[in-house]
Each structure stands twice: as C-alpha cells, then as structure tokens.
Structure 1
Amino acid sequence: MPSRVVTVTLNYNHNKRFALLLPHSTTTEAVTVILREARNKFRTKALSSVFLPGGVFLAEGESFPELVSQVWVGKGEPYCGPPGIVHASASAFDSELHLISGKSFLDDKAIEQLKNVGRLPGVVLAVGLPDLHPGSRFPIGCAIAAEGIYPALIGSDVGCGIALYELSARPKSALNPAKLASALRGLDDPWSGSVSAWLSNYGITRVSEFDVGSLGTVGAGNHFAELCSVERIVDEAAAAQLGVLAGGLYLLVHTGSRGLGSSILSAETTNQSNPYIPLDSPHFQEYLTEHDYAVRWAVANRDLVAHRIQQCIMPSSEDMGDPPEAKLELKKIIDVTHNSVSKHALSVRDITRELWVHRKGAAPADQGVAPCPGSRGSFSWLLQPTGDGQYNAHSLAHGAGRRYGRAVLHTGGKISKTNLTQTDLGSVVICEDPDLLIEEQPDAYKDVACVVEDMEDKGICRGVVILRPVVTYKVRKER
C-alpha cells in the first residue's frame, strides 16, 4: 500500500513542523518512526511523546488511526495542540451544530471552539447557547452530547451551579443595601461549625483539611452571592408554584466545588489533555463516582454559603454562643448544576439514543425552573424550560455570558471604585479584590435580556420572575 502524508508539529512550538511519509506497513511502529524522524528534523533527542489531535497519547505499538493526518511531538510536557480533530474527513464524525442566537453577540473564537469540539470522536451534537463565549480551550455556554465522556469539556469546576433561597417572604422593614452589605462579615473565613456533620447531610463521608478550609465559601472568578428582591412577576401561576412572592427577600448563590473539581480534572488529564472515556472503559464508572461526589459537594457548599449569609443578616442562637447548626434551615427554591455531565435521550439525524450531555456553563432544562443571572448591575431571571429539549440538548443559558475577556477590561482608562461598587439599580457590590472588581464589572457581560429573548424566540423557555440585585457579595478582606 502507498505511504500517507502525516504532518508532524512540535508540541511546544507550532511554527515548527514537517511532512512525513508514513508507510502503511509501519502503522504499529508509527511512534518509533515519528520520533526518530522528529528528533532528526528538530535536532533534539529529548522528544519522547506523540499526541494525536485532541491530546490523545499514542503509545508504542499502538496502531496509527486511519483518518489522522497530523500529530504533535513533545518532551513529556502536556499536550498544547488544538482540542479536536481539525483535519479529519467528514466520515470521521457526523455531529450536528446548533447555535441559538439572534440578538446576543457571539464571539467568532467561541464559535470556532464549538466547531472543533463537534469534531471530537464520539460527539453527536454541539449546542451553543446565547451566552456562548470563548474559554481557554473549550467554549463556555454550551451543551455537548457524546457517546462517552470528555472530562475536560466539563471543566475544572465540576458541580458549579446556582441556587435560590428565600431569606424572608415579608421583610419587616424596607431593604437597605448599605446596611445589609455591612452585615456580611467573615464569609471568606473557614466556617466554625462541624464540616463533617454538614457534609454527612449530603452523603459525603470524606473530610480533609481542604473541606474544613473551603466549604461554605464563595470563591473567586465570576462566583457570587446576591441578595435580591422581586422586580416583576411575569408568570403568576409559575411563581406561586415556586413560592416566590412580590416583596420577598431572596438569595442567589453561584459557586461550585472550589478546588475539588480542579483536582478531579487534573487526575484525568495527567497523560492526555483531553482524554475520552468510552462507555466500555473500566474507568467510566470510576470517573462518574468522582464527578457525582463533586456535584454533591458543590450543592453542600452553596447551602452552607446561604446558611452563613442567613446568620449574618438574621442572627439566631449562634450569636448567643450556641454551636452553629449543621443543617440548612432556609427554604431552598431552586438548585441547578451547570458544569456537569448526565445521560439523556436525544434524537439526532432521526436516530434516538442515550447520550452523555456535557454542560459547560449550561443550565439543565429538564429539572424545572432555572436561574439565569445577569451581571452584578442588571436583573436576573427565573426561566421555565419549554419544548421537547431536543434542539437545545435539554439545556438553557446559565447567565448573560461574558462579552469581553478579563485582560481587555484592564486596558481602558481608570474607573472610579465608587462606580464599580454602586450600580445603576441602586445595589451595592462587595468586592475588595481590585482586579476582580474591574474584571467582573457590568460591562464585561452581555445583555441578559437579549439572552433570554433569544431563548424565548427559539421556544426553549419562558420568563417567570425577574429579580433585582440588592447586594452582590464577591470577596471581603477583613481587617
């Protein structure tokens, strides 16, 4: 059989590459041949690893895939190439790409990232929601349906999500943002209660120094806890069923599994940057066990953040010296996870089958009403999923989505701190990290109203309640 042309690229310097004629007779010796030629061409004997597109490690003696025409060679460092098979023929994959947008801005880089994900082996459907925006390698604001699992598509914060709690159905006095903000103290410190007792409520028995230091904290980045009031009830019946009342004080908590999800992803990507776990792999259930553990931990974390905020603004017996309670006493209305993977029946190209839907910044649309927060200076929505979930892979936008990258926001002129800690809606922002204050400003995000309207126009949800921010908590450095 004739030879095939394979492009060999230096993993850590993509400007260096050469074309190799790889005889079909040497497919099981491909690693030996590729490394021998690469060491000669790049003049370094240190080359020791060969990656297929997407970061799949090609071991000695393994057969070279028939449809692959490009590889990356390195010295043992992590894979630095593109996330998916970019040069595969159409027969190598048969995925569908759905983009849900009309009024919402979609970054070209995010669309390209989504297309690359759609080319990954086993991927059947890639859905870009209106909050779609670029990630470091993979897009955020998307749902990916595949035959198996790609841990890297879920990201480093497994279990991240948003929960809504009722703080008071009928506050005794008018809401005073400044007064409420001043009461939120000690939330970044380790909780003084029994972490093991709290976690036991969620079926978690593992307890370490990590749990003691991290459980019950918001974290950094775009995470927040927000006191909010009802701006408008759009669907009276649905709001009543939720128990959301005009005049009430509510709490949105957006956080995840802190460093736990990152450690799980790191363990999965030790040898490959984007490993694929097929259904028949003995590791499949092992990964799901760790994934589900992180999801439960993140739920426990959101609940404890809410519990601590309740104790700040509504002191109870804990202020009298009694031990902190080890269970949530607040009414929890909603809790959705938007970084996870779960199994769903989907019909793609007239074939219905069970697929694993990876949600990276996408709310589930099969668990009832889901929150869709705006920026800290805009309204948030509660959305009722509609439709059969097939076009959108049973998923909704998880928020407004970033419009500008973090670095871009540091390039403008100096902004007054007052302008960033007091919003046009009269709410107060607590964020004593100066970089985060700039990076998470309202202008960093898309218009959440456009995001919601795009989804309503597509028939995948309808608005139920609009929430108004009162106090947004990010981080407070106690003195």
Structure 2
Amino acid sequence: MGTSPKVDGRAPIHVFASSKSWIEGNATLQLQQVAGLPGVRAVAAMPDLHPGKYGPVGCAVLADRIHPQLVGSDIGCGMGLFELDIPARKLRLDQLADRLHALDQPWDGDINSVMADAGLHATTFDASLGSIGGGNHFCELQAIEEILEPEIAAQAGLDRDRAYVLVHSGSRGLGFSILERILLKGQAALDPASDGGGAYMDVHDHAVQWAKLNRRIIAERAAVAARADLRPVNDLAHNMVERAHSAGGDVMALHRKGAAASDRGLVPVPGSRGTLSYLVEPLPAMRTEALASLAHGAGRKYDRGSMHGRVRVKKSDVARLERNPYGGIVVCGDRGLLAEEAPEAYKNIERVIADLVEFGLARVVATFRPLVTFKKAQSNVAAGGGKREKCWKEDRR
C-alpha cells in the first residue's frame, strides 16, 4: 500500500501489505496514533497487522525514545524452531498427544542451574519456566511439507524426513510485571541514554533472555515426549525493543511489536493451527524501509470475544476442532480457548506470505504441516482453579 508521508507531526508509515490483504480499520487508526508518539521517526507495518491494547500488533517503530507500551506485557515473546533427531513418520501422534499433557504440569528440572547457565538472576516468576501460557501461545510438532529453496535449507541443516518443534511463548508473568510497574506512572517515553531508559532496558533484556530460555525448555520437554533429542534452527523474539543508532550517531530505540527481526537468519512464520507454517529467508533489498523486520505470523482477523459467537464448541463440535486438515491433532481441553484460537480467527497465511514475497522482504525456504498442536490439556476450571488462566499477552485479540 506504500508509504504515508509525515502529516501533522506524525512520522512516515510504510505499509507492506497489498490491497488484497485485509487490515482492520482500528489497526490503521492505531498505526497513525503510534506514528504521532513523542520521538517516533518511522513506522513499518506488516500484512499481519491487527489491533492491540497499546497499539497495533504487527509493526516496527523507530524512535528516539523508548515506549515500553509498544513492547507490551509479554516482553521477549517469540518463535523458536527446533529439529528433532527422529523421522516424522515414526511419531505415533495419539501417543505423543497424550505425553504432551505433561506440559500442563510444572517443569521438574533444575531451575537454579539452567538460570545460572543462561547467566540470568532469579525472579519470583521462575517456577513458570517451561510453561506455554494461554492465549495464542502453543507448542507444535511439525513435519516438512515442501522445501522450495534446497540450497538454503541444506545450509540450515534441514532434513525433510525429520520432525520439528515450533514453540510460541514468552516471559509469562515476568514481562507483565515489568510493564505494570512502568504504567503505574502513566505511559512512559524514556530517553535511551537516561538512567530510567537504562533501567528499563536492563529488566527488558533479562525478560527477553528468560523468554528464550523458556521456549528452549518447552521444546526440550516436547522432545522428551517424542523420545528424541533436538537442535535449534532459530529463535527470534517479536515483542522487544533494542538500541540502534541513527546515521548521525544518535541513540535510537527500535521497537518490534509483533514483528520478527529480519537480520538474524531464517524466520519462522506460523499460520493458524489448521494451516501450514513457513520458514522464510529475509532479503536485504527493503530492510531499511521495513526497519529490519518481518511479519511474525498470520495475525488475527477476529477478536477473541466474537469468536465465541462464530464457532460452536458444543460436545459435537469439539471433535472437529481437535483435528486439523492434515490429519493432525489439536490438544486443547479449554473449550473457550479452542474457539478463540480456531483457524478461522486468523488471516490467510498464504496472503501474508505472498505480500512478504511481493514486496521483496523474504522468500520461502520451506513449509511445515502441523502434526500435534498443544495449547492446554485442560481448563483451569476443570483443574479446580476456579477460573480460566489469565493470558499475559497485551494483544486484545
């Protein structure tokens, strides 16, 4: 759709979405509001753009101030792709789905040891390590459907016969607590070079690393369920801010709010639980205009509340929702979440990927089909928790 020039003091907005892509009007309005925040210099919007609580999800924002609300509450949330040393054809999906129920239970590993090995200090949220959380977070066992760029796939060590694990999770309550403390003083705009900016970046960077460790532990737990070992392919956060420098040497803040970095290797871009996921190679041609960012997924089309009216979750409907079109299994014992995360809640991932390709942002290396998607084995009500778990995502979707 092109670039919007600077108007009424708002920064220019570059939208990497074609006229064929559906973007909600509220997301466009939020995009304009973000462009008018103090110190914002440029905004890049991806085809998965959709409304969020503190601004649109699916964009990158360059500013001379740190805006913690643009990072959101799930600091460090991202995607981690891992390869298992077992052929996908050898997985017994029903048995694997049963064993993945263990992900609903606390991890029984040595938390202190892994935190120390990762160079992280202890927090009051460390008991949540190895847990997925609610909302759109998941752990999915996958198989390669097609390799479109054999040379790039070979360089990444991809084996078309093996099984893979894709994990989408974040910093759980840790990131939420950081944003909550910031917002007690109102929405902040922090100088990156100030003491306040430095203090935020310290706790932010810790949460980003905590979230990455969390995804690795989840993947390891899934590998145990599959009776396999694993190796990482790539792990990228898509809710974060990092220091950057302008051409004049000024310290800047590059925010990614539901946008994956495009300068750190191959990028996993998942669809819904009923579609293929994509592994793409970022291309350098449009990197500056796109603020070194890519789409992080399909993006929501319908908000969570409306999905309860769009999707039936009576007993007779659950069987359909617990299977995907590829013959795979969806493990989600929470009927409310099953409806909120139904495939029809999301945009067309093929259209999102087509836009990335058409705008010269990326090319597809491989596609992956879902085998077992784990979200929750049971709801908190069923477990005796009294109410559904709060999702630590700032995304209102």
TM-score normalised by the chain length of structure 2? 0.89
Per-residue deviation at 1:183? 2.1
1:311 aligns with 2:224: yes
Structure 2 residue aligned with 1:249: 163
Partner residue of 1:220?
Answer: 134
- Runs of 4+ with deviation above 6 angstroms: none
1:395 and 2:293 correspond: yes
- Give the Cα separation in 1 of the matches to 2:296 and 2:312: 30
CA–CA distance in 2 between the matches of 1:106 and 1:353?
34
The CA deviation at 1:387 is 2.1
Look up the SS of the partner of 1:301 in the other structure: helix
Which residue, 367, 377, 388 being the options, matches 2:264? Answer: 367
Offset from partner CA, 1:250-300 (integer Å, 9 cap, x none) = 00000000000000001111120x210013422111111000000010011
- Please tell me the residue identity of whatever aligns with 1:122: G
Report what 1:337 is aligned to. Answer: 237
- For 2:35 and 2:103, the matched residues in 1 are separated by 41
Q: Retained in 1: the 8 A contact 2:192–2:252?
A: no
Which residue identity lines up with residue 208 of structure 2 in the other structure?
Answer: V
Q: 2:348 aligns with which of 443, 447, 468?
A: 447
Contact kept, 8 Å, 2:311 with 2:339, in 1: the verdict is no
Q: Which residue of 2 aligns with 1:121?
A: 38
Shift of 1:352: 8.4
Asked if the contact 2:140–2:372 (Cα under 8 Å) also holds between the matched residues in 1, the reply is yes
Pick aligned residue for 1:206 from 114, 119, 122: 122
2: CA distance between counterparts of 1:310 and 1:143?
A: 33
Number of residues of Structure 1 aligned to a counterpart in Structure 2: 370
State the secondary structure of the residue aligned to 2:326. Answer: coil
Which runs of 5 or more residues in structure 2 are unaligned?
1-5, 384-397
Q: Displacement, 1:330?
A: 2.5
Give the residue type in structure 2 aligned to 1:307: E
Scaled by the length of structure 1, the TM-score of the pair is 0.74
Residue pairs, 1:127-206, within 5 angstroms:
127-171=44-88, 173-206=89-122
Counterpart position of 1:278: 191
Letter of the structure 2 residue corresponding to residue 398 of structure 1: H
Does residue 427 of structure 1 match 2:328? yes
Identity of aligned residues (%): 39
Residue 99 in 1 paired to residue 15 in 2? Answer: yes
Over 3 Å counting, the alpha-carbon distance change for 1:183 and 1:137 in structure 2 is: same
Contact 1:403–1:446 (8 Å) recurs in 2? yes
Q: Which residue of 2 aligns with 1:289?
A: 202
Q: Distance in 1 between matches of 2:181 and 2:72?
A: 13
Distance 1:96 1:446 in 2: 25
- Aligned equivalent of 2:309: 411
1:30-89 deviations in whole A, cap 9, x for unaligned?
A: xxxxxxxxxxxxxxxxxxxxxxxxxxxxxxxxxxxxxxxxxxxxxxxxxxxxxxxxxxx9
Q: Tell me, what secondary structure is at the counterpart of 2:126?
A: helix
**In structure 2, C-alpha distance between the alignment counterparts of 1:205 and 1:190, rounded to whole Å:** 20
Structural RMSD (CA): 1.9
Give secondary structure in 2 for the equivalent of 1:222: coil
Equivalent position of 2:283 in the other structure: 386
**Which residue identity lines up with residue 161 of structure 2 in the other structure?**
G
Deviation at 1:185, TM superposition (A): 2.6
Q: Which structure has the bigger radius of gyration? A: 1
Q: Deviations over 1:117-145 (max 9, x none)?
A: 00011001111100000112311011111
Which structure is higher in RCO with an 8 Å CA cutoff and minimum separation 6? 2
Q: Which runs of 5+ in 1 are unaligned?
A: 1-88, 316-328
